[in-house]
Amino acid sequence: MEKLKLYFGNGTRSDKYHYNRMLYDGEEAFSFIRVKEHSSIKHGTVIKTFVDEQTDLSPFSFRQSPLAGVIGFCEEGPRSIEKIVGGAKGKVRVHGRQEMKGSQCHVVSIDSKYGYYKLWLDPEHGYNVVRAKFDLDAGDIDRLGKVMPKGTWARRTYAVEEFALIEDIWVPVAYRITDDSILPGGYYNKAKTSFKITSIELNPDHEKMGSFALDEVPDGSLAMISGQRREYVWRDGELVT
């Protein structure tokens, strides 16, 4: 693969070994997942996905990852915050300033095809989004790039709890996300998730680190292509039947 840009892995824990590694090159993405408890999947699972025209990144790979807030996605939208604001075409409102955790933040709202967004931008921390509210209703485009059907809605929030200054760049390293929504079929979802990023290295030597090699994926791993029901086997760096 060429032009690979992003990588993250959530490491290991002694009590519950869980490893998730993702690679993305602008056209396709690979995710390798290994969970100790899933004894029926001996080696792990490889999932291959492609970029959707409605999204900036592969749907499976990064939109709901712990790095979403770091790279400007705030978990909810199928496009980056920057592109959602830029594409709102006059539907952006500035509401003045509001204090958030000691900073006088700029408050901005966006009425877009992706729903109603309200953002708090922190000038003391690189104008990062320190807080966000997302209101989506039927007819809006959801995080999967799909039009939300009749009878569904979502109310979600994103709030940064801690920033870190890394090489003169402010990065959100602890944040929480809430989700209150009605899903297709009338299912109700209510969730609260907290993320903590313990280590970030900017501009690492990827060639030296071997960041984008999938050589740790054992032959024989279960392999799938996102959106297909067919199963494959990982063999010599390829998906085979």
- Higher pLDDT pick, 30 / 50: 30
Q: Summarize the confidence of residues 108-136 as an average pLDDT.
A: 91
**Residues 123 and 158 both lie in one domain:** yes
**Residues 39 and 51 both lie in one domain:** yes
SS3 of 182, please? strand
Which are the contacts of 230, defined by CB distance < 8 A and separation ≥ 6? 224
**Residues 187 and 132 both lie in one domain:** yes
Q: Which amino acid is at 221?
A: S
SS3 of 136, please? strand
pLDDT exceeds 70 at position 63: no
SS3 of 237, please? coil
The answer to whether residue 72 is domain-embedded is: no
Q: What is the pLDDT of residues 174-213, one digit of tens each?
A: 988 898 999 888 899 999 988 888 888 888 887 787 776 7
The answer to whether residue 78 is domain-embedded is: no
**Residues 105 and 159 both lie in one domain:** yes
Number of domains into which the chain is organized: 2
**Residues 186 and 112 both lie in one domain:** yes
What is the spatial distance between Cα 49 and Cα 62, in angstroms, rounded to a whole number?
11
**Residues 153 and 241 both lie in one domain:** no
Q: How confident is the model at residue 55 (pLDDT cuts 50, 70, 90)?
A: low
Q: What pLDDT sits at residue 219?
A: 80
30 CB-side CA count, 13 A: 22
The answer to whether residue 75 is domain-embedded is: no
DSSP of 55-97:
-SS-TTTTTTSTTTTTTT-TTT-SS-HHHHHHTSTT-EEEEEE
- Higher pLDDT pick, 200 / 19: 200
Q: What is the pLDDT of residues 144-176, one digit of tens each?
A: 778 999 999 999 898 999 999 998 999 888 988
**Residues 116 and 183 both lie in one domain:** yes
**Residues 151 and 225 both lie in one domain:** no
Q: What pLDDT sits at residue 64?
A: 56
What is the spatial distance between Cα 224 and Cα 180, in angstroms, rounded to a whole number?
30
Domain span at 19: 1-67+200-241
The answer to whether residue 7 is domain-embedded is: yes
Mean pLDDT of the chain: 75
DSSP of 191-225:
EEEEEE-----SS--HHHHTTT--TTSPTT-EEEE
